[in-house]
Amino acid sequence: MQTFYDISLVDGYNLPVGIEHMPSDNTSFIPPNLTNSACVATAGWLYDVTQSGTYYSNETYPIPLEKNETNDLLSKWCPWRNLAFPPQRPSDGIYPYPDDNIQRPSFSPCKSACATTGSDRDCCIGQYHDPNICKPSMYSKNVKAMCPDAYSFAFDDRSSTFIVPKGGGWKVIWCPAGRSTDILNQLAAQMYELASGGKLSELSMRRLGNASFVNAGQKSASQESAGERLCCPLLLLLVLSGLLLVMT
């Protein structure tokens, strides 16, 4: 049995949010850097750039984080027409161009493309109810850049759904400070192993506790695998060399 969960921004965004897994006996083996996700897309809540962190985990299992956003970018990521509460019109009733020159309020909820237009195309319904036809809007693309682990539109499930063995509970954290997590992308191989088999190998557990591996993400997997493949033959060669020296 499995549990499926996600942080959904399919309808819109208003506050930073995080999910923390509260393990039961049968899920206590799962490192928190595979379960504890967060989306921080509000200016003022973003910490400085770092490759990984322990905001939602611990020193043993650092969590991979989004590395490109700034508080300035977060203050104006929402497409103008998607703003739930756009700034008041200037006294002459005409907004300056571009819209980004207008100061937005600190609390600036953003509606999704579907919630904004209600169109079949933006809501992926009717003739657009097909992942090959319905594509992400500007809102969805911006969401994915800021919150890589978040569900951004109807057909974003493959890159946004966490799958873990059934058991334990969940704690929702409102307004976590830090940075958004990037677990499903950076640790895709380990997430697949957990989802498909319900367990993790000793190798995966070691990798998940290795900050260098976590920071490098998928790129490090092939490099480390190559190193591991070389490791055993080299050790065997050394052992054989030692035996030959002893025999001679």
Q: What is the 3-state secondary structure (H, E, C) of the chain?
A: CEEEECEECCCEECCCEEEEEECCHHHCCCCHHHCCEEECCCCCCECCCCCEECCCCCCCCCEEECCCCCHHHHCCCCCHHHECCCCCCCCCCCCCCCHHHCCCCCCCCEECHHHHHCCHHHHCCHHHCCCCCCCCCHHHHHHHHHCCCEECCCCCHHHCCEEEECCCEEEEEECCCECCECHHHHCHHHHHHHHHHCCCCHHHHHHHCCHHHHHHCHHHHHHHHHHHHHHHHHHHHHHHHHHHHHHC
Domains in the chain: ranges and CATH: 2-87+97-216 (2.60.110)
pLDDT, tens digit (0-9, with 9 covering 90-100), for 84-143: 998 876 655 566 555 556 778 778 899 999 999 999 999 999 999 999 999 999 999 999
pLDDT in tens, 167-214: 999 999 999 989 999 999 999 999 999 999 999 999 999 999 999 999
